[in-house]
């Protein structure tokens, strides 16, 4: 095989999930051929726009270069399926769910087709009439939205996305729905509805009532529009917080903030649901293809104390421009599972350009993740990406035409953009492992971890390469330190590690939840779609700590919030290199991902195998 520049871990992931295979299951592709396949497929779209053959060839090379250098990677479905005539190239979908037998079964069928093709789906249960409501046509009683949710979950369990991973879903319910308490509690028993994340959709009026304390909140039948009863907003919020503290669910999405950026609200109405990891609010039948820039690749040596002098801005702008064109081309190259998705996606042409490797960039700049300066860096960088992506979308709009629904949008007369939205910060579950960087805008989860080789009975140590380099250069490296870290030990408790190292190499479990929320808010201010971010808590965190984080997320303009308290699940996955609470047996691990050397960790609220890249809910 050709020598590659990627890590052993990345090669394992690519072999297991991404490289093409022959009919006998033998790998027939390497990383160069994979990136060339994808670059060629996306460049060929240019023929539609009468681009000269020589220019198409040059563009293909540019697409290839930014992927091969790991400066940019598209979401997994694009890497897996581009150039194969199999499956979708997009990761994110929201399907409408109407209150009728025909509507429910239509959504179930559509979801099965989307997941068969490799996508993940989001649903809003808010229109489904409450449990026990009278059905006029049959004189029976409605089963309610939770039974509909369970039905969708069972269907999803039958589908493996593109033959390569389990189905991923998000269910959202309005806080005004009469069955909201049942929804909040529907995943309290671990393992129930396991292939759905759940979030409660709230508005500003509800949050104001929560803060005021005693205000009454109406529960409204979505079928009749009548107020069924009044309950305490604070008590409903307490239920949400209790669930989040207990096992990380439900999350929360802030509809007013989401729809501030909904440029199509006048034509299609408000967005009321998101994709499975919550970073992509979408209208019914919309999809969005994602791709992420690896920020760690743009740090250059500099003696200047100003961090801005350490960024290769010229190359960053070049990659932003290429990535926007690449993602716009995905819309045309895509193979859509159902015609409604094709129609809606092409009407708004939404793309989701995001970032990964932000924590690695901060480490190279020697800036602690949980500092105000780090948030300034994040906001500034995302602001540059926002401006450049908008400029490129305007350029494409002038050359290729605006998105078809543009004239009904909120854009001004001079804003002839190609894409209704352009930016999204996705979780980048497996593509960040391929790129060898931290996921999304998350901090490092661990500096060292262990992997058990089941077949050979060996324990292998894996160490963050930048940390290992610094440890050796500054004289504090030892095998004992690495073993300590792999067992879940923290740098802050070591006397042999310099203070600046402890500050710069701070990991997710060490970071105050408030700092997590403020980082999400710093990026959200520059992003027209959403942010995937997990707010991590120690096992000792109180319910009040979770309460404060949810309120802070709303106050600082986040579009949603997801939390995870270490130790809060009975079947807890590997965390920071060691198992906490009830341990997963080797049988459980193998059943989860199916690879020979499973190493499951909790990252961004999802369970991911560091060996093969399997993930329980990540789709990007």
CA end-to-end span of the chain? 27
Q: SS3 of 455, please? A: coil
Establish whether 279 is a catalytic residue: yes
Bond prior to 250 in cis (omega within 30° of 0) = yes
Closest by CA to 432, choosing from 360, 350, 365, is: 360
Q: Which helix (H) or strand (E) holds 207?
A: helix 204-212
CA dihedral 205, 206, 210, 212 (to 10 degrees): 20
Which structure tokens are listed for 110? 């559509």
Q: How far is CA 47 from the centre of its chain?
A: 32
Angle between helices 233-247 and 543-555 (to 10 degrees): 110
Closest by CA to 76, choosing from 134, 33, 154, 16, is: 16
Q: Which residue in the list 92, 186, 277, 612 is annotated as catalytic?
A: 277
Distance CA 606, CA 254 (A): 21
Residues in the chain: 620
The answer to whether residues 544 and 561 touch, using CB atoms and an 8 Å cutoff, is: no
Q: Which residue in the list 46, 249, 279, 286 is annotated as catalytic?
A: 279
Which structure tokens are listed for 403? 């998105």
Distance CA 418, CA 349 (A): 7
Distance CA 435, CA 76 (A): 12
Establish whether 321 is a catalytic residue: no
Measure the CA angle with vertex 354, ends 350 and 356; round to 5°.
Answer: 155
Q: Which residues of 413-433 are buried (b: 16+ CB within 10 A; e: fewer)?
A: eeebbbbbbbbbbbbbbbbbb
In terms of Cβ atoms closer than 10 Å to its own Cβ (0-12, 13-18, 19+), residue 505 is: buried
Distance CA 302, CA 309 (A): 6
Q: Which residue in the list 262, 275, 329, 547 is annotated as catalytic?
A: 275
The answer to whether residues 87 and 118 touch, using CB atoms and an 8 Å cutoff, is: yes
The answer to whether residues 440 and 546 touch, using CB atoms and an 8 Å cutoff, is: no
Looking at the DSSP bridge assignments, the partners of residue 288 are 92
Q: SS3 of 574, please? A: strand
Establish whether 277 is a catalytic residue: yes
Please, where are the H alpha helices in 366-406? 372-400
Q: SS3 of 178, please? A: coil
Who contacts 52 (Cβ-Cβ below 8 Å, separation ≥6)? none
- Annotated catalytic residues are 275, 277, 279
């Amino acid at each position: 095989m050709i020598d590659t520049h990627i890590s052993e871990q990345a090669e394992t992931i690519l072999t297991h999930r991404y490289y093409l295979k022959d009919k006998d299951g033998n790998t027939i592709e390497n990383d160069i051929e994979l990136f060339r396949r994808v670059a060629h497929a996306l460049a060929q779209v240019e023929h539609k726009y009468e681009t000269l053959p020589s220019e198409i060839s040059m563009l293909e090379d540019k697409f290839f270069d930014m992927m091969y250098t790991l400066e940019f990677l598209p979401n997994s479905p694009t890497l897996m399926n581009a150039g194969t005539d199999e499956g979708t190239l997009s990761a994110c979908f929201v399907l409408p769910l109407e209150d009728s037998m025909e509507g429910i079964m239509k959504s179930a069928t559509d979801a099965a087709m989307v997941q068969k093709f490799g996508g993940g789906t989001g649903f809003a249960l808010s229109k489904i009439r409450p449990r026990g409501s009278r059905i006029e046509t049959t004189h029976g009683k409605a089963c309610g939205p939770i039974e509909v949710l369970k039905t969708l979950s069972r269907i999803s369990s039958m589908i493996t996305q593109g033959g390569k991973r389990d189905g991923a879903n998000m269910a959202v319910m309005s806080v005004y729905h009469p069955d909201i308490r049942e929804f909040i509690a529907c995943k309290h028993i671990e393992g129930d509805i396991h292939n759905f994340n759940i979030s409660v959709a709230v508005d500003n009026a509800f949050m104001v009532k929560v803060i005021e304390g005693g205000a009454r909140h109406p529960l409204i039948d979505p079928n009749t529009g009548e107020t069924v009863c009044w309950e305490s907003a604070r008590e409903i919020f307490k239920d949400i917080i209790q669930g989040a503290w207990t096992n990380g669910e439900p999350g929360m999405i802030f509809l007013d903030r989401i729809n501030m950026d909904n440029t199509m609200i006048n034509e299609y109405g408000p967005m009321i649901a998101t994709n499975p990891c919550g970073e992509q609010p979408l209208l019914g039948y919309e999809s969005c293809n994602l791709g992420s820039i690896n920020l760690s690749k743009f740090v250059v040596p500099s003696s200047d104390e100003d961090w801005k002098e350490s960024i290769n801005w010229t190359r960053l702008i070049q990659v932003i421009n290429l990535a926007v064109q690449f993602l716009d081309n995905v819309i045309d190259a895509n193979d859509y599972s159902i015609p409604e998705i094709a129609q809606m996606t092409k009407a708004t042409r939404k793309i989701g350009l995001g970032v990964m490797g932000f924590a690695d960039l901060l480490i190279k700049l020697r800036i602690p993740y949980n500092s105000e300066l780090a948030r300034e860096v994040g906001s500034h960088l995302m602001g540059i990406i926002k401006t450049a992506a908008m400029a490129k979308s305007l350029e494409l709009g002038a050359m290729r035409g605006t998105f078809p629904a543009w004239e009904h949008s909120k854009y001004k007369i001079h804003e002839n953009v190609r894409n209704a939205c352009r930016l999204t910060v996705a979780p980048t579950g497996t593509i960040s492992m391929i790129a060898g960087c931290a996921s999304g805008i998350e901090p490092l989860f661990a500096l060292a971890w262990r992997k058990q080789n089941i077949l050979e009975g060996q324990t292998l140590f894996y160490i963050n390469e930048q940390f290992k380099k610094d440890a050796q250069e500054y004289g504090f490296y030892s095998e004992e330190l690495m073993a300590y870290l792999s067992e879940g030990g923290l740098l802050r408790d070591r006397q042999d590690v310099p203070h600046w190292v402890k500050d710069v190499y701070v990991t997710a479990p060490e970071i105050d939840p408030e700092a997590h929320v403020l980082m999400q808010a710093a990026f959200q201010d520059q992003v027209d779609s959403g942010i995937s971010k997990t707010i991590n808590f120690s096992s000792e965190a109180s319910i009040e700590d979770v309460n404060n984080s949810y309120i802070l997320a709303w106050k600082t303009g986040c579009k949603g919030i997801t939390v995870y308290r270490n130790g809060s699940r009975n079947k807890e996955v590997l965390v920071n290199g060691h198992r906490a609470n009830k341990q997963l047996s080797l049988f459980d691990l193998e059943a989860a991902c199916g690879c020979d050397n499973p190493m499951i960790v909790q990252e961004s609220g999802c369970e991911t195998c560091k060996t093969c890249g399997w993930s329980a809910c990540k789709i990007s």
